Structures are given as structure tokens and as C-alpha cells.
Amino acid sequence: LSGTAPGTLTSTVTGSGTTYEISVSGMTGSGTVVANVNAGAARDSASNLSAASTSTDNTVTYDVTAPTVTIDQAANQADPTTVSPIRFTVIFSENVTDFDASDVRLSGTAPGTLTSTVTGSGTTYEISVSGMTGSGTVVANVNAGAARDSASNLSAASTSTDNTVTFNVIPPPVPLNVTIDQAGSQIDPTNVAPIRFSVVFSSAVNDFTAGDVTLSGTAPGTLTSTVTGSGTTYEVAVSGMTGSGTVIANLASGVAQDANGNLNTASTSTDNTVTFKVNNTRLRAAASFGAFGGGAGITNQGVNTVVRGDIGTTAASSTITGFHDSTGDVYTETPLNIGNVTGRVYADAPPPVIFNSGGPFGGNAQTKAIADAAAADALRVYNDLAALPTTAPDPSAAGELSGLTLPPGVYKAAGGSFNILPGGTLTLDAQGDPNASWVFQMNTSLNVGAIGAGATPAKVVFRNGVGDAGNVYWQVGSSATINTGAQMVGTIIASAGISLSTAGEVILTTLDGRVLALNASVTMVNTIINVP
């Protein structure tokens, strides 16, 4: 007996005549066992001794070593992954049989009923795992005794370098919605650049830039934008307008994305259009003012007043009552007297006592200087308007404008005043010219509509909607009264005071224009003023 198998090998012999069987035992480990018959081992009937044995194959491999096995992520398996099935590679140390899916033990944190399939043969197999219904880890192991080699040795339990894969369920796409509207402090219409828009995303983005903003509208020029902000909220500032027109800002779909890779939908808006007007060269410093109270101030009564522009006086800021402006400065408001100025309040000291962080911003030398400049330009324009030669006679000879349709021109009240009766309408016919202008000259007063809840409001309109309120002027020698519910257009410059509506009235009075009182105060009740 010889070979490589360790141990004290012994044999037993059975048989007779010509044929015998040798049984070898005593091997304590794997290796070869070789058997030979020595010369002279046996004799025949004539006492001839046998020769040494010859063999075709007298070597047997004794195998008692269990196959080892490793299981790891397949070479092409992404980790983490969102794709099923997840693949693992199984490698045995020698060829095995009987290996199938029932020999694979699956675990981990991924929910679901996990199942596996097995492909391959010999030493190498691939396991494909599916059934994950949520995010988590998938771990694969091969049980001990899973397969057997040619000597029927059962395999050992698997070892691994990395037999864990993280599976992530892709959440359903979450719409990344975005709105773009005029910024809260944006005056519309405005003659000031830049024009500001507020952009709000439904979740935070970090790749929103000026190049993502689509600008359109009728304002001429090479419009450009800058973007500030972060997270969900941004501000877009648009400049480059060289003439009057609209500026519109939008966001196309897919220009920004959130942390989950969701791309934005196209923007929606409540109001993403701002009208830009080139500075009124006639009014100059007074152009941005919706109301100016000379040296006497401005008073608001009611909670629905909005002045879309600036207001001011050359007097102390304390003569401005019932208003707050875009900076957060508050000028003697009460629960019943709240007026929203979308621009600024310009007046002399003292500064207001209620204000936002960083304030107060008004009631100082700078705001007084701006008010003084506006007062000077308002007076200059008043005198210029009064000096204009008339191009048409008093259309009614009695100063009554109700029911009339007037082409552009300079009209002077023959009796000193112009009136529009309650329920009456004055129609301004631009005759197709959007830049047409009208000037109404009065030595005394202007009266529009009548006092009282039962009175039908008067109004001034443009025929077919063609015309610009910025090109309509009312030069009033004394006072102007715009009564409750009136719809008025134009810049009213009066030597004395100007009143809009009456105390206690809740019906809105609307003016697309300005009220500039040179030497007295302006009072308003639930009034909307839109500066052209």
C-alpha cells in the first residue's frame, strides 16, 4: 500500500482461486491510495511463485474534503440599485451538483417575499433575487450542505467579501411646481427698473439661474434678468427696457430640479405681467406719485385704499395718516383707516414710530428733498397746462362733460369748472392713436359724480380701450372732488384740495392717474389709485 493519503493503511483480502478483493482502510485524510501485489505473493499448484503485479489503474483518490463556497455581489451588480433582480455570484472550490434555489438563504431589511433563481454549473453559479417591495438591504448566503462533490462530500456554509446589496424603490415622481408673480413690493405700472418677480418652488432647488427665465412682453429693449435667493424662494430682477410696454416672466418646464431629481413643471402665475412706462418727461419728479398733499398732507379713511405708487407732502410725516408703505413704515393707521402704498411715503421729519426691521425709512431729510422736487415739478406742470392754448371750445358751453365723446385736444371750461353728472360717462376717443392726449383746463373746480350711496357713479373711459391715462391732465384752479364709486382717469393737479369719495362710503372709487394738490391736502376713502 502506498499513495498520499495519510493514516495507517491496512488491508483485508477475500476471495479464492484466481480472483481476490483487497479492502483498504485506515485513511485519515484525503489523498491517493495505491495498491500493488508483491512478487512471490502467491504460488500455484506446481509451487510456482507469482510475479509482481501489473495494473491498468491501481490508484484511487480518497476524498473527504468538503467543498468550500463563496457568494458575493455579481461583478456587474450596481449597489445601491433600483433595478430587480439583484444578482450574486456563487463559486465553489470544486465542481458540485444538486445546488438549487432552495439552498440559498435570503435576509436583509428590504420588505417583500424575496425569491431566488439559480443558473450555472460546475463551480460557478448566479443567483437572481426578486420580490422586493420597498427599500432596504438584500443579503444572500449559501447554506451548509447545499451541494455535493463527486465524492458526495457536502459543501460548507458560504463565506463572503460582500454579499449585501441595497435596494431603493424609486418614489413616484413628485411634481416640482413653481409660481412666478410680481414681487410683493413691485409697483404696476412702474417707471422704475429693475422690475421684480417672485419665484416660489414647491420644494428646494439649487440650480435655478437667470438663464432659466423666459422674458417676453411688449416693452422694447434687450431684456436681461438676475436671480437671487435660495431653496424654494427666489427673486428675478428684470432690466434693459428702453421704452414703454409690458414685461412678462415665465419658467419653462424642466429648467430646475430638486434633490430627488424631480424636474419643475412650467410655471403658473396669478399676475406675472408688469407694465413699464418710460418716465413721464412732463411730470419728472412728480411722475411716481399717486397722491401729493402739497404742504398739508394726505388722509385716508377706510381699509380698502390702495395707492399703486408713491405718496407725499412737503409737510411733516405726521400729516400723512392712515397709510403704510412698502418699507413697512406706518403712518398713524387705525383698525378703520388702513391704506396700502405699494411705493414709498415721502415727507419731512419726524420719522414714523412704527416700522419694520431696519427702519424707519421715511420722515427724514432725504425723503423731504424728494417731496420738494415733486412739489416743484407739479407746480411747473400746473402752470404749463394752464398756459396751453385751447384746441377746442368748451364742448358743452356749460362745463358738463357727461355723455360726450371727445377727441384729443385742450379743452377749457367756459364757466370755470367741469362736471360729470352722477351716472354720466365721458368717453375719450383716441381715434386709434394710443399716444393721444387730453388737457382739461378749469379756473375753478372739477366735480365728478355725487355724494350718497344712492348716487350712480360717474366714469371716464377710453373708446374701444385705446388711450393712456398718463396722457390725460386735469388742471384745476381751485378744488377737485371725485365722488363715491367714480371711475376716473388722468392726472389731476389742483391749486387747492382734492377729495376722493366720502367718509363712511365702502364702494371703491378708482383713479387711473394721480391727484396732486399744490396748496392743500388730499383726502380719500376706500380709493384705488393706479399710477400710469
pLDDT at 277: 77
Q: Whats the size of the chain, residue-wise? A: 532
* Torsion region of 229: left, alpha or beta (phi above 0 gives left; psi -120 to 50 gives alpha): left
Distances (CA, A) of 346 to 138, 196, 448, 494, 522: 70, 22, 28, 19, 14
d(CA 305, CA 373): 25
**379 phi and psi angles, rounded to 5 deg:** -65, -45
The chain-wide mean pLDDT, for the chain, equals 93
- Of 496 and 26, the structure prediction assigns the larger pLDDT to 496
C-alpha cell at 161: 467579501
Q: How many CB atoms lie within 10 A of CB 114?
A: 22
- Of 27 and 130, the structure prediction assigns the larger pLDDT to 130
pLDDT at 260: 82
**Kind and range of the H or E element at 375?**
helix 365-387
Nearest to 227 by CA among 219, 216, 217, 215: 215
The identity of residue 470, as a single letter, is G
Residue 281 CB partners (closer than 8 Å, separation 6+): none
Residue at grid coordinates 422586493: 132
C-alpha cell at 375: 412739489
The identity of residue 495, as a single letter, is S
pLDDT at 454: 64
Distances (CA, A) of 19 to 16, 22, 53: 6, 10, 13
pLDDT in tens, 3-51: 898 999 999 999 999 999 999 998 888 889 999 999 999 999 999 999 9
Beta bridge partners of 105: 141
pLDDT in tens, 139-188: 999 999 999 988 888 999 999 999 999 999 877 777 899 999 999 878 77
Cβ atoms of residues 297 and 313 within 8 Å: yes
What's the CATH architecture for 178-276? Sandwich (2.60)
> What is 69-167's CATH number?
2.60.40
pLDDT at 281 over 80: no
pLDDT at 423: 92
Cβ atoms of residues 396 and 372 within 8 Å: no
Instruction: Break the chain into its structural domains and give their ranges.
Output: 7-62, 69-167, 178-276, 284-530
Q: How many CB atoms lie within 10 A of CB 391?
A: 13
Between the two ends of the chain, the Cα-to-Cα distance in Å is 117
C-alpha cell at 448: 365728478
Buried b (16+ CB within 10 A) or exposed e, 47-79: eeeeeeeeeeeeeeebbeebbebebbbeeebee
pLDDT at 493: 99
| Banded model confidence at residue 261, pLDDT cuts 50, 70, 90 | confident
pLDDT at 89 over 70: yes
pLDDT at 279: 59
Mean pLDDT lowest among 165-179, 401-415, 474-488: 165-179
